[in-house]
């Protein structure tokens, strides 16, 4: 399959396209620069603009498929990110014809306005230019990070780390949470807090999510095998994998996740999927259907970051949930005031009443661990026990059979 976004290098003085060509691609300038040329008198070309790194050109013809209105030539060795019509506009036409119509109308109006501005008004509308400039900067950032992420996915820059979740009663490892890490080839670390939202916006979360499940389950087979005799034997430790609600917008994806589970050979009852409450509440009916289908695979479902999304309890009890993860913010507040303590207590009581198991997140001190155990929380996770570890570190930890 052709790549969605790719880079292409050009020498100085090369023509990217000519006036009158059909426009299939738009281009972001990564490095170098180009000139924009229109025909002048006596067949000479007039340079009407130059563009440099971070600027986009060719986007209008890409949208409305109209002939190019200028010739573009490189001024220096130049690298361009190519955005293809077939990959961006065609799917939009098929899936969202109204949106693609609106885009075409806007493009036509813009062409019109630009022509008038050029001929009558001279300098152009400052405000419009400025908001377009802001949009351009945003679009450029998005497109380059998406390109980096795709590249990273292909070259194995995304890895899974594992944080133990402990059984507060026995102090043994009850499971792990798989947490994604992006370590770029040059060693830069990008936090999931940064890249997961971008992956959600670009749709790349679907592929990343599959990778998380596949890798998490493969590594879990090793963790299970590494347990010392009799350690955390009953029940065997689970693997918790984060699932973005956007991964299951299309129900077809559930079939793909099922394949990954089947191929892993891991008993589905040792798999837990963590989903944040906000995404469940946004489209409640769809969430019910999707979670129901996931449950039918025999796995468990946790509501993540509980308490941060203002979800209504009346909604929650209708969802097929097994576990509630109390957000770290509550565990912190618990130490700070009597009220904070009572909030955690009531969440714990509520969960018990609904038959849900509870994981308290972000335990950084021994006292928090004991207090949460007192309140009836079943599981705990946090730096006090262990930070998330690379696969080999988690494997070693399991081999030592720790008790906290």
Interface of this chain with Ca ion, residues 269 to 288, rule: CB under 5 A: 274
Alpha carbons 134 and 116: distance in angstroms, whole number: 23
- Note whether 304 binds Ca ion by CB under 5 A: yes
> Which region among 98-106, 121-129, 286-294, 379-387 touches ligand C2E (by CB under 6 A)?
379-387
Quick check: 73 and 27 in contact, CB under 8 A? no
Which of 71, 166, 242, 368 touches Ca ion by CB under 5 A?
242
Show the binding pattern over residues 204-223: x = contacts ligand C2E (CB under 6 A), - = does not: -----x--x-----------
Tokens found for residue 358: 């509870």
Which of 34, 173, 196, 375 touches ligand C2E by CB under 6 A?
196
Q: Distances from the Cα of 285 to the Cαs of 32, 279, 289, 290, 319, in angstroms?
A: 50, 11, 6, 9, 10
> Which region among 138-146, 309-317, 376-384, 391-399 touches ligand C2E (by CB under 6 A)?
376-384
Which of 60, 382, 391, 394 touches ligand C2E by CB under 6 A?
382
Alpha carbons 21 and 67: distance in angstroms, whole number: 5
Residue closest to 32 by CA, chosen among 82, 83, 77: 77
| Residue among 146 and 277 whose Cβ is closer to Ca ion | 277
Residue closest to 331 by CA, chosen among 400, 280, 283, 377: 377
Chain centroid to Cα 233, Å, comes to: 34
| Residue among 210 and 295 whose Cβ is closer to ligand C2E | 210
Alpha-carbon torsion (377, 379, 383, 388), positive or negative: negative
> Which region among 53-61, 244-252, 262-270, 301-309 touches Ca ion (by CB under 5 A)?
301-309
Alpha carbons 382 and 90: distance in angstroms, whole number: 46
Count of positions on this chain that bind ligand C2E (CB under 6 A): 23
Show the binding pattern over residues 243-262: x = contacts ligand C2E (CB under 6 A), - = does not: -x------------------
Q: Which does 311 bind (CB under 5 to 8 A by kind): Ca ion, ligand C2E, none?
A: none
Q: Which does 362 bind (CB under 5 to 8 A by kind): ligand C2E, Ca ion, none?
A: ligand C2E
Minimum CB separation from ligand C2E for residue 274, in Å? 6
Alpha carbons 384 and 128: distance in angstroms, whole number: 53
Quick check: 267 and 297 in contact, CB under 8 A? no
Which residue has tokens 């600027």? 55
What three-state secondary structure class fits 40?
coil
Instruction: Please enumerate in sequence order all residues whose Cβ is within 8 A of that of 391, keeping only pairs 6 or more positions apart, or say none.
Output: 159, 160, 161, 162, 219, 222
Q: Which does 164 bind (CB under 5 to 8 A by kind): ligand C2E, Ca ion, none?
A: none
Interface of this chain with ligand C2E, residues 279 to 308, rule: CB under 6 A: 304-305
Residues that bind ligand C2E (CB under 6 A): 163, 179-180, 191-193, 196, 209, 212, 242, 244, 274, 304-305, 328, 361-364, 381-383, 388
Q: Please give the residue ranges that form the binding site for Ca ion (CB under 5 A).
A: 242, 274, 304-305
């Amino acid at each position: 399959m052709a790549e969605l976004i790719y880079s292409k290098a050009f020498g100085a003085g090369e023509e990217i396209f000519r006036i009158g060509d059909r426009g299939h691609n738009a281009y972001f300038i990564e490095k170098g620069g180009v000139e924009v040329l229109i025909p002048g008198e006596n067949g000479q070309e007039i340079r009407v603009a130059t563009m440099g790194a971070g600027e986009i050109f060719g986007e209008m013809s890409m949208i409305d498929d109209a002939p190019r209105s200028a010739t573009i030539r490189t001024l220096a060795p130049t690298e361009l990110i190519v955005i293809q019509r077939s990959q961006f506009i065609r799917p939009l036409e098929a899936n969202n014809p109204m949106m693609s119509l609106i885009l075409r109308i806007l493009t036509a109006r813009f062409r019109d306005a630009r022509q008038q501005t050029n001929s009558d008004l001279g300098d152009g509308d400052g405000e419009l230019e400025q908001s377009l400039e802001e949009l351009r900067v945003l679009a450029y950032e998005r497109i380059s990070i998406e390109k980096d992420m795709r590249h990273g996915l292909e070259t194995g820059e995304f890895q899974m780390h594992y944080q133990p979740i402990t059984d507060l009663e026995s102090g043994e490892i009850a499971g792990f949470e798989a947490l994604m890490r992006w370590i770029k080839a040059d060693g830069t670390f990008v936090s999931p807090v940064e890249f997961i939202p971008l992956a959600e916006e670009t749709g790349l979360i679907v592929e990343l999510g599959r990778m998380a499940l596949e890798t998490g389950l493969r590594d879990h087979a090793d963790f299970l095998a590494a347990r010392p005799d009799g350690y955390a034997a009953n029940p065997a430790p689970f693997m918790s994998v984060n699932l973005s609600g956007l991964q299951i917008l299309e129900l077809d994806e559930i079939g793909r996740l099922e394949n990954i589970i089947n191929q892993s050979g891991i008993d589905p009852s040792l798999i837990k999927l963590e989903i944040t409450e906000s995404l469940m509440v946004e489209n409640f009916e769809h969430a019910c259907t999707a979670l129901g289908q996931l449950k039918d695979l025999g796995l468990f479902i946790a509501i993540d970051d509980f308490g941060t999304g203002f979800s209504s309890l009346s909604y929650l009890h209708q969802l097929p949930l097994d576990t509630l993860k109390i957000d770290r913010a509550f565990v912190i507040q618990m130490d700070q005031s009597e009220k904070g303590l009572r909030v955690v207590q009531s969440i714990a009581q509520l969960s018990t009443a609904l038959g849900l198991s509870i994981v308290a997140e972000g335990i950084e001190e021994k006292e928090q661990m004991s207090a949460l155990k007192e309140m009836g929380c079943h599981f705990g996770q946090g730096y006090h026990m262990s930070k998330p570890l690379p696969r080999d570190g988690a494997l070693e930890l399991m081999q030592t059979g720790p008790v906290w």
